[in-house]
Structure 1
Amino acid sequence: MTDMSPRRAGGRAARREARANPLVDELRPIRAGMNGGTYKPLAETDLERIHKAALRALEEIGLSDAPASGVRLLTEAGAILGDDGRLRFPAALVEDMLAIANRSVTLCGRDPVHDLDLSGTRVHYGTAGAAVHVVDVDTHEYRDSTLQDLHDAARIADRLDNIHFLQRPMVARDVTDNREMDLNTIYACCAGTKKHVGTSFTEAAFVPDALELLHLIAGGEDTWRARPFVSNSNCFVVPPMKFATESCEVMEACIRGGMPVLLLSAGQAGATAPASIAGAIVQAVAECLAGVVYVNAMAPGHPAVFGTWPFVSDLRTGAMSGGSGEQALLTAGCAQMHHYYSLPGGAAAGIADAKLPDMQAGWEQMCSNVMAGLSGLNMVYEAAGMHASLLGFCHESLILGDDLIGQALRCVRGIEVTEDDLSLEVMRATCLDGPGHYLGSDHTLTRMQRDYVYPVLGNRASPKEWVEQGQPELVPNATARKNSILAQPSRARFPAEIDADIRRRFAIHLS
């Protein structure tokens, strides 16, 4: 029977001590890769109808603008090139390629502790996007993003428990040569975090140099191919229903180099995708199915993420509205389609239309992040830091997003109902033999660590205590934590001899 004897002395100290001792990973209340999938906005019959509509779109409409290499690969696999230049995909071809697609993808970190298992409904949150501005929370100004800003974002993300991967969240606008920008992006991200990194390439011609850089970081090509810790975020389509010629060539080069790919379809409902939520999902699914055929025609079983990534428009203006409830529904519906195919998938959530980390940003980011997690989305991209519908990135918002995602992950975990969870023996001991409350009990102390998530910066003090604390505010506290993190050396920095080799071979802009 649980000990329910009164603990008048030392109770608060005991609770503080319990909280100070970190739990082993499997006992933590939240962690990367927890299973979602409890939220399902689409019925089973809806999933089937979307699948059949996507197959019809591929067979009857098809996609245009594939590069010559892609036309050759796809027609040899069974696609049909029409007189109008569009490639059409028979349903049997799509089903055949789905049958050989990789369903057990693991995205590796440079440190294996950060590996991401994308099977089933396992959920991971991280950054993404290509913001061209950084949000200055002090002046409320948007300035051009720099390579140092990107490196700082990587260093911050490396220290945040609930940010599980770093896909490049902003463009290094101070590096004007595209080749050098692509290479320095990899350097800045990998020198800042040992978590999995996602990046893009401007041209296929830049990929061999990027692979050489990655081989240097990994310690050799064989080591890289065994555990590729960078993936290619590839917008291989230009919605509606066109291949992005240059991006497809990049994708082919990355596949040859052993790099996992994110097949990213990013239509905008009401602009480059149908305005209806179901229609936007149908088009995104059709385009990504074309990507599955493309990848597996070239390299059967190559690791690829099914990146249905449709966005929402504010139909009054045509502007993107990433913080809307419609966006949250789109993302959750896409996650269900990933599970329908049993494919590892990713989509966008956590985007704020708000320009600053304020109350609007909070509700916008929380709504889609919670729904994405509950739907079991494997890779929740753009989950923290993104403002102004992807135009601005904010380091403070990234830090606040770690707290926000912690609460979202607790929702993903859900409610366990074991015999111990039902707590009848604890109730009996408390009410019949004990003090009549649960404060300080062994059961409470245990659950305090294993069941409850506590914000790092979110303030739960009473108004009186808050005044005694000096009336702390979220954003200034986030700035203080940012400065504290950036005052420490990067835990991911390269050994001196490897860094010297890299700098001899490439023009690295970070000092």
Structure 2
Amino acid sequence: MTATPSRRAGGRAARKASRAAPLSDAMRPIRPGMEGGRYRPLTDTDMTNIHNSVLDALEQIGLADAPQSGVDYLTGAGAIQGDDGRIRFPRALIEDTIAKANREITLFGRDPKRDMNLAGAKVHYGTAGAAVHLVDIEGKNYRHCTLQDLHDAARISDVLDNIHFVQRPMVCRDITDNYEMDLNTLYGCTAGTTKHVGTSFTDPSYVKGALEMLHLIAGGEDKWRERPFVSNSNCFVVPPMKFATESCQVMEECIKGGMPILLLSAGMAGATTPSTIAGGIVQATAECMAGLVYVNAVKPGHTAIFGTWPFGLDLRTGAMTGASAEQALLSSGCAQMHKYYGLPGGAVGGIADAKLPDMQAGWEMMCSNVMAGLSGLNMVYEAAGMHASLLGFCLESLILGDDLIGHAMRCVRGIEVTEETMAVDQIRQVCIGGPGHYLGTDQTLARMESDYVYPALGNRMSPKEWDENGKPDLIANAIARKEQILSNRSAARFDPMVDAEIRRRFNIHLPA
């Protein structure tokens, strides 16, 4: 006689099948753009005082070294050039710029499902930086980065759920011509991911070629301008309080070409910004505010990200430290100022000073990633893969960072307090005539996927199970995951005819 499955077993099988199916976005425990902002290291009075100091710095000190085109744009908007050549910003001009600036922007991906809405305290994590070395994790050494390494990083990022955008994390040191390096950087990133890409240009004349390539990829200039999926990461200032002449000219060309701008102020505490955390926030905010006036003077309402990136410094040695508690506070305080103004912004998080993905790297990356997310930072740059205070990038660490950011995002999501989640009825059912535990209850099974984040590579086995499974090693598993991803063709690769036309017009160094 054939046994009939019990109703209980059938229900369990159905639940197991349901859990195996992909979750809808609404049911996922974490997803891009969750609301942070619960962590506030600055009081309301602190933020008002910082704002007033920013106004004083811009009105009384101003910025030097603007290109003539910038002088014309800025003075035309109401800034004043003094006899010393510095551009000063009246309070009324700053307040008017803040009032007119975008409160919400969308950074597009080539795939519309990967668009990012930047508003309020919505949080996104991604790569960034300009590492000159790749970390060879097996040999435990550093070597020069190549275009292939950059392309591999984009391909890996493309399949990691918790990496929401790809700003160029490495410099292609195998390409010596700057124009070819910039164009191949653009190609390597966009051919590797359909997520939003950020990149830089070393000369204003290079922007024309970049836009030509982007028009080909998008299917025409009109389609590019409708959905620009690449932004310009622009170090428009040389702290303290000086414009970077050539970068400003690059910025002008990118604005004219419809490319979003990351206004990036990257001073170092005690060297190119004041050593105090508050002073670093004041200067970075003032510099980015000057940049926002500049962008809107070129094209009112143009998409711009308020990129306050002050970095920490080890004052004993003068070495940069991107992984200190002070760095976490700098980025969190900057995030609060973005919210104070209602401006979409970004700062750094997740950098390790550690040279390899070890325990030191883990605590360093988690500290600033969690604090940046909790503060409601819209764009957390350099959140995964970056070592040695931005000198080295590690592909395996990028993969491990996806797990780490998943936990950071769960912290960002916070605690939902409702009648259902407080669970008094469930407690009653379990304790009065029930099993005396919550294992296997409908409520537990129903929420195990929507409330809890599970690591992809992190190991939660018991010591006995770990031993029986051959003592799996975290780094070895990350290497295997890297090799598995890179064994498949890029899902973001271009249509063959488009790719052939790009290669006909530009010297692309990646093999077809």
Same fold (TM over 0.5): yes
Give the drift of 1:434.
2.3
- Tell me the secondary structure at the aligned position of residue 26 of structure 1: coil
SS at match of 1:285: helix
Alignment partner, residue 484 of structure 2: 484
CA shift digits 1:360-402 (9 cap, x unpaired): 0000000000000000000000000000000000000000000
Output aligned runs, 1:87-98, within 5 Å. 87-98=87-98
8 Å Cα contact 1:15/1:440 also seen in 2: no
Alignment of 1:176 onto 2:190: no
- CA distance in 2 between partners of 1:14 and 1:350 (Å): 40
For 1:143, the equivalent position in structure 2 comes to 143
1:446 aligned residue: 446
Which sits farther off after the overlay, 439-448 or 155-164? Answer: 439-448
Q: Is residue 29 of structure 2 the alignment partner of residue 29 of structure 1?
A: yes
Alignment partner, residue 244 of structure 1: 244
Return the letter of the residue paired with 1:105: I
2:65 alignment partner AA: D
1:433 is paired with a residue whose SS is coil
- Alignment partner, residue 67 of structure 1: 67
Question: Is the partner of 1:346 in helix, strand or coil?
Answer: strand
- Partner Cα separation in structure 2 for residue 10 and residue 246 of structure 1: 68
- Please give the per-residue CA displacement for 1:48-73, whole angstroms capped at 9, x wherever unaligned: 00000011001111100000000011
| Superposition map of 1:32-431 within 5 A | 32-431=32-431
List per-residue Cα deviations over 1:309-358 (Å, max 9, x = no partner): 00000000011110100000000000000000000000000000000000
The total of aligned residue pairs comes to 506
* Equivalent pair of 1:74/1:297 in contact (CA under 8 Å): yes
Amino acid at match of 2:394: C
Aligned equivalents of 2:286, 2:144: Cα separation in 1: 36
How much does 1:442 deviate? 1.4
Q: Tell me the distance in 1 between the aligned counterparts of 2:287 and 2:14.
A: 56
Distance in 2 (CA, whole Å) between partners of 1:233 and 1:464 is 49
CA contact (8 A) 1:100 1:296 kept: no
Whether the 8 Å contact between 1:133 and 1:143 is mirrored in structure 2 is yes
Which has the bigger relative contact order, CA under 8 A and spacing at least 6? 1
Q: Distance in 1 between matches of 2:356 and 2:436?
A: 47
Letter in 1 for 2:139: T
One-letter code of the match for 2:396? E
Q: Quick one: distance in 2 between partners of 1:431 and 1:447?
A: 20
Q: SS of the counterpart of 1:449? A: coil
CA offset digits 1:286-322 (Å, max 9, x no partner): 0000001101111111000000000000000011110
Rounded Cα–Cα distance in structure 1 between residues aligned with 2:488 and 2:440: 37
Assess, with a 3 A threshold, how the Cα gap between structure 1 residues 469 and 12 changes in structure 2: closer, same or farther.
farther
Residue 497 of structure 1 pairs with residue 475 of structure 2: no
2-side partners of 1:400 and 1:255: how far apart? 36
Residue 100 (structure 1) shift:
1.5
The one-letter amino acid of 2:69's match is S
Asked if 2 retains the 8 angstrom alpha-carbon contact of 1:18 and 1:449, the reply is no
CA distance in 1, matches of 2:194, 2:136: 27
Q: What is the alpha-carbon distance in structure 1 between the residues aligned to residue 405 and residue 443 of structure 2?
A: 26
Q: Contact between 1:152 and 1:486, CA under 8 Å: does it hold in 2?
A: yes
Specify the alignment match of 1:3 in structure 2.
none
Structure 1 stretch displaced more, 441-450 or 199-208 = 441-450
Q: Gaps (5+ residues) in structure 1?
A: 1-5
Give, in angstroms, the shift of residue 10 of structure 1: 8.0
Distance 1:7 1:118 in 2: 47
1:105, 1:119 within 8 Å by CA — same for their partners in 2?
A: yes
Most deviating of 123-132 and 9-18: 9-18
Counterpart residue identity of residue 466, structure 1: W
Aligned to 2:3: none
Deviation at 1:19, TM superposition (A): 3.4
Equivalent-residue separation in structure 2 for 1:168 and 1:510 (angstroms): 16
| In 2, Cα distance between equivalents of 1:84 and 1:163 | 45
SS in 2 for 1:96: helix
Identity %: 72
The CA deviation string for residues 105-151 of structure 1, in whole angstroms up to 9 with x for no partner, is 10000001110000110000000000000000101110000000000
Partners of 1:451 and 1:115 in 2: how far apart?
24
Aligned to 1:39, the other structure's residue is in SS state coil
User: Do the aligned residues in 2 keep the contact of 1:125 with 1:165 (CA within 8 Å)?
Assistant: yes
Residue 26 of structure 1 deviates from its aligned partner by 1.1
Which consecutive unaligned segments of at least 5 residues does structure 2 have? 1-5
Letter in 2 for 1:297: A
Letter in 2 for 1:87: I
TM-score (structure 2 length as normaliser): 0.97
CA contact (8 A) 1:198 1:233 kept: yes
3-state SS, counterpart of residue 148 of structure 1: helix
**Given that residues 199 and 230 in structure 1 are in contact (C-alpha distance below 8 angstroms), is that contact kept between their aligned partners in structure 2?**
yes
Q: Structure 1: how far apart are the matches of 2:19 and 2:145?
A: 38
CA displacement, residues 201-227 of structure 1 (integer Å, 9 cap, x when unaligned): 000000010000000000000000000
- Equivalent AA in structure 1 for residue 456 of structure 2: V
How many Å separate the matches in 2 of 1:442 and 1:14? Answer: 12
